[in-house]
Amino acid sequence: MLSKVYSGCVTGMDPYSVDVEIDISGGLPAFSVIGLPDASIRESRDRIRSAIKNSGFVFPAKKITVNLSPAGIKKEGAGFDLPIAVGILSATNVIDPKDLDGTLLCGELSLNGKLKPFRGALPLAISLKNKYRSFIVPKANAAEAANVKEMSIYGAASLKDVVEHIKGIRRITAESPPPGYSTRIEDNGTDFMDVKGQEHVKRGLEVAASGGHNILLIGPPGAGKSMLAKAFPTILPGLSRKEALETSKVYSMAGELRDSGLISRRPFRAPHHTISYAAMAGGGSWPMPGEISLAHNGILFLDELPEFRRDVIETLRQPLESGEITIARVQRSLKYPSRFIFIAAMNPCPCGYFTDPKKECRCNPYQIQRYLSKISGPLLDRIDIHLEVPCLNYKELSSRRNGETSGEIRKRVNRVIRVQAQRFNKKESNTFRNTYMTARDMEEYCPLTKDAEEILKTAILELGISARAYDKILKISRTIADMEEITTIEAHHIAEAIGYRCLDRGLWT
Amino acid sequence: MGRRTNREIGQLGETIARKYLIAKGFRIIDANFRTPFGEIDLVAEKDTFTVFVEVKTRTSREFDSPLYAITAAKQKAIIANSLVYLKKNGLCDAPARIDIIAIDLDSNGDLKILEYVKNAVEL
């Protein structure tokens, strides 16, 4: 008695379909799974046996061979419990094999036959939507999978429900796709209007939001670095549906997408500085996405940057450059997307008051040097905008809040993003921002006026700005010019951009 | 009828198995053959094959089929026993196999279910 059930599995961000073949033959009772299963699949025997029995069916005392094909790829996860159980019931004629055609099954079983959610329902549904008509998933995964409209998604509570559904005794109603995607603007209670003073920092953040630039905030304790970073998401446009799908796929892999459907809010990840390398980059022998991937299409905020472990900070180098991270392990190497705006905050020295005009700094030059050297040149190089956040004076502190609201700023940011989308439309997706420009792009899209060239030249020669920073300055000035909807970069754009490179100007050293 | 000992249950099962095999055309050539590794319940012969038969008897189906009781360790012992028998009788090159008979008895000691698994363990 042979049966075949269709299922799938996701490793990294690559989903693939897996055929579950089951043969039941005479002989001593045995249960073997072949086709490179991992430990959790090999363990599935006992879950499946109990689940079948406790759902009121008979588990055959026969020799059962389960083959997961293609046999060459390693399979992982408990999502194969359901297809194997259904396959056994099909091989014992409880279910007509014909009823299984065009149906994809995934889910973890508990001993009493209830279905438990598995990881990766959304990426699986997206990539296999054209191969199958329907997808039976545990109820907890139904909402996320229902974002794929090309398949009927059925959320089942138990193995019994699945069998009754397949046999047509009691059909499960198909999960209705979520009513039109609507993005949610971040509203975390911190509006730009609430931030007093710091006008040039706000301006810098607006530039960063517009061009997708990374930011380093430097200032004494209590200046409001964290508050500014927290307010930053409120000036970003909402996630587009495409971005939401990308981000939700990562969350689905991390098992953090439950009941809620899509992630419709830009992620804001702010891990504590004690975070380990694996939690930041993604890890485990079967690597799970880390903080940088969970921040995909959103913001990664590292407060007190020098306090982070050096290897953790250095991890960011590749993702900041390429928008994805490759995690290599013994079994295989995986890629996770990680395109985010990076915001870091730090004090200028260990005591924090080096740049403060009033309070005296207690650090000696050696201490400051050591503190700053925790952040490597290559990483600083990848941060476009360095902003100094000074302490507020009494006048600013006591002033009534009167700045612009986040909503007003967001409107402008949206406009600049549209300008960029038009420019890069032909070559990339419309999520492409100035910060991702290559050398060739910059040659094409960053024409300078005579004055602008002159200033840039002076800056390089006399301020000792490195050639590496040259690119960053061009990209930032491109964004500033875009904010004024001017095609040719002018002198004051360059000048402002140079102003955002305070570390290049050798502020302390 | 009173409670039986496991030994009585086993003997009851073996009698049933013996009758079953004879009815199927086997010739019983030995029974309860002891070796250093344990015991072979029945040794039969049919169509030139030497057949070692392990009989497993249970009185209740409250749990699973008695077949589940033939664990991996037990299978190893059955194979070892069979090899000892073949060696002792100079049958090493003769065709042989291992069959298993699982018997369920009701509380009166009457046969309820008999499962016969041919070539259950590879020799």
Inform me whether the C-beta atom of residue A27 falls under 8 Å from chain B C-beta atoms.
Answer: yes
- What is the C-alpha separation between B9 and B3, in angstroms, rounded? 10
B-chain residues near A61 (CB < 8 A): 64-65, 67-68, 115
Mean pLDDT of chain A: 87
Q: Which structural domains are found in chain B, ordered by start?
A: 6-121 (3.40.1350.10)
User: Which residue in the set B65, B75, B121 is minimally distant from A61, CB to CB?
Assistant: B65
* Residue A234 pLDDT exceeds 60: yes
Q: Do β-strands A134-138 and A152-156 pair in parallel, antiparallel, or remain unpaired?
A: parallel
- Which tokens belong to A421? 């989308």
A-chain residues near B75 (CB < 8 A): 28
Of chain B residues 39-58, which have a CB less than 8 A from chain A?
none
Q: What are the C-alpha distances in Å from A307 to residues A18, A345, A370? A: 45, 11, 12
Q: How many Cα atoms occupy the beta-carbon half-sphere of B59 within 13 Å?
A: 15
User: Do the chains contact at A61 and B120, CB–CB below 8 Å?
Assistant: no
Q: Write the ipTM.
A: 0.79
> How confident is the model at residue A507, as a pLDDT?
54
Q: Are B13 and B109 in contact (CB under 8 A)?
A: no
B-chain residues near A64 (CB < 8 A): none
Q: Determine the CATH number of domain A192-405.
A: 3.40.50.300
Distance from CA of A113 to the nearest CA of B (A): 18
CA angle A51, A56, A59 (to 5 degrees): 60
Q: What are the C-alpha distances in Å from A478 to residues A212, A387, A455, A465? A: 12, 18, 15, 18
* Residue A387 pLDDT exceeds 50: yes
B-chain residues near A27 (CB < 8 A): 117, 119-120
Instruction: Give the residue on A whose Cα is nearest the Cα of B74.
Output: A28
A427 pLDDT tier (thresholds 50, 70, 90): low
Inform me whether the C-beta atom of residue B64 falls under 8 Å from chain A C-beta atoms.
Answer: yes
User: Do the chains contact at A26 and B118, CB–CB below 8 Å?
Assistant: yes
User: Do the chains contact at B118 and A61, CB–CB below 8 Å?
Assistant: no
Distance from CA of B67 to the nearest CA of A (A): 6
User: Do the chains contact at A26 and B70, CB–CB below 8 Å?
Assistant: no
pTM (whole model) above 0.90: no
Beta strands in A292-430 (DSSP E): 299-302, 324-328, 333-337, 341-346, 385-388
- What is the C-alpha separation between A305 and A343, in angstroms, rounded? 10
* Helix (H/G/I), strand (E/B), else coil: A496: helix
> How confident is the model at residue A348, as a pLDDT?
87
Cis peptide before A70 (omega within 30 of 0): yes
Candidates A183, A294, A195, A235; CA nearest to A417 is: A235
Distance from CA of B90 to the nearest CA of A (A): 28
User: Which residue in the set B65, B118, B121 is minimally distant from A29, CB to CB?
Assistant: B65
Number of A to B CB contacts under 8 A, please give it: 21
User: Do the chains contact at A28 and B121, CB–CB below 8 Å?
Assistant: yes
Distance from CA of A176 to the nearest CA of B (A): 42
Q: Best residue in A28, A62, A64 to probe B by mutation, most B CBs within 10 Å?
A: A28
- At B83-113, the pLDDT tens digits run 999 999 998 888 999 999 999 888 888 888 8
Q: Are B100 and B56 in contact (CB under 8 A)?
A: yes
* Residue B3 pLDDT exceeds 80: no
Q: Best residue in B52, B61, B63, B65 to probe A by mutation, most A CBs within 10 Å?
A: B65
A-chain residues near B100 (CB < 8 A): 28
Question: Tokens 């009585």 label which residue?
Answer: B8
- Cβ neighbours of residue A307 under 8 Å, at least 6 residues apart? A273
> How confident is the model at residue B14, as a pLDDT?
93
Domain parsing of chain A, residue ranges? 2-167, 192-405, 437-509
Instruction: Give the residue on A whose Cα is nearest the Cα of B122.
Output: A27
Task: Pick left, alpha or beta for residue A92 (phi over 0 → left; psi -120 to 50 → alpha; otherwise beta).
Answer: alpha
Q: How many Cα atoms occupy the beta-carbon half-sphere of A249 within 13 Å?
A: 23
Q: Where are the alpha helices (DSSP H) in B24-50?
A: none
User: Do the chains contact at A29 and B68, CB–CB below 8 Å?
Assistant: yes
What is the sign, positive or negative, of the torsion defined by CA atoms of A322, A328, A334, A338? negative
Distance from CA of B2 to the nearest CA of A (A): 30
Candidates A386, A384, A389, A397; CA nearest to A355 is: A389
A-chain residues near B118 (CB < 8 A): 26
- What is the C-alpha separation between A82 and A95, in angstroms, rounded? 14
Distance from CA of A175 to the nearest CA of B (A): 38
User: Do the chains contact at A27 and B70, CB–CB below 8 Å?
Assistant: no
Inform me whether the C-beta atom of residue B65 falls under 8 Å from chain A C-beta atoms.
Answer: yes
> How confident is the model at residue A51, as a pLDDT?
96
Backbone φ and ψ of A447, nearest 5°: -70, 145
- At B20-54, the pLDDT tens digits run 999 999 999 999 999 999 999 999 999 999 999 99
Q: How many Cα atoms occupy the beta-carbon half-sphere of A443 within 13 Å?
A: 3
User: Do the chains contact at A27 and B120, CB–CB below 8 Å?
Assistant: yes
Q: Which of A256-265, A297-306, A385-394, B31-40 has the lowest mean pLDDT?
A: A256-265
Inform me whether the C-beta atom of residue B101 falls under 8 Å from chain A C-beta atoms.
Answer: no
A-chain residues near B121 (CB < 8 A): 28
Inform me whether the C-beta atom of residue A61 falls under 8 Å from chain B C-beta atoms.
Answer: yes
A-chain residues near B114 (CB < 8 A): none
- At A118-138, the pLDDT tens digits run 988 999 999 999 999 999 999
- What is the C-alpha separation between A84 and A47, in angstroms, rounded? 11
Q: Are A63 and A27 in contact (CB under 8 A)?
A: yes
Instruction: Give the residue on A whose Cα is nearest the Cα of B119.
Output: A27
A509 pLDDT tier (thresholds 50, 70, 90): very low
- Cβ neighbours of residue A303 under 8 Å, at least 6 residues apart? A225, A226, A229, A270, A273, A344, A345
Q: For chain A, what percent of residues have pLDDT higher than 70?
A: 96
- In angstroms, how far is CA A211 from the centroid of its own chain? 19
Inform me whether the C-beta atom of residue B100 falls under 8 Å from chain A C-beta atoms.
Answer: yes
Instruction: Give the residue on B whose Cα is nearest the Cα of A50.
Output: B64
CA dihedral A304, A307, A311, A313 (to 10 degrees): 10
User: Do the chains contact at A61 and B68, CB–CB below 8 Å?
Assistant: yes
> How confident is the model at residue B2, as a pLDDT?
56
* Residue A207 pLDDT exceeds 70: yes
- At B46-79, the pLDDT tens digits run 999 999 999 999 887 666 788 888 888 999 999 9
Q: Where are the alpha helices (DSSP H) in A92-175?
A: 121-127, 139-145, 159-167
User: Do the chains contact at A61 and B67, CB–CB below 8 Å?
Assistant: yes
Q: Are A494 and A452 in contact (CB under 8 A)?
A: yes
CATH fold of A437-509, please?
Answer: Helicase, Ruva Protein; domain 3 (1.10.8)
Inform me whether the C-beta atom of residue B63 falls under 8 Å from chain A C-beta atoms.
Answer: no
Q: Determine the CATH number of domain A2-167.
A: 3.30.230.10
Inform me whether the C-beta atom of residue A58 falls under 8 Å from chain B C-beta atoms.
Answer: no
- What is the C-alpha separation between A239 and A122, in angstroms, rounded? 17
> How confident is the model at residue B33, as a pLDDT?
92
Q: Where are the alpha helices (DSSP H) in A92-184?
A: 121-127, 139-145, 159-167
> How confident is the model at residue A426, as a pLDDT?
59
User: Do the chains contact at A61 and B64, CB–CB below 8 Å?
Assistant: yes
> How confident is the model at residue B93, as a pLDDT?
86
Distance from CA of A23 to the nearest CA of B (A): 16
- What is the C-alpha separation between B37 and B83, in angstroms, rounded? 10
User: Which residues pair with residue A385 across a beta bridge?
Assistant: A215
* Residue A486 pLDDT exceeds 70: yes
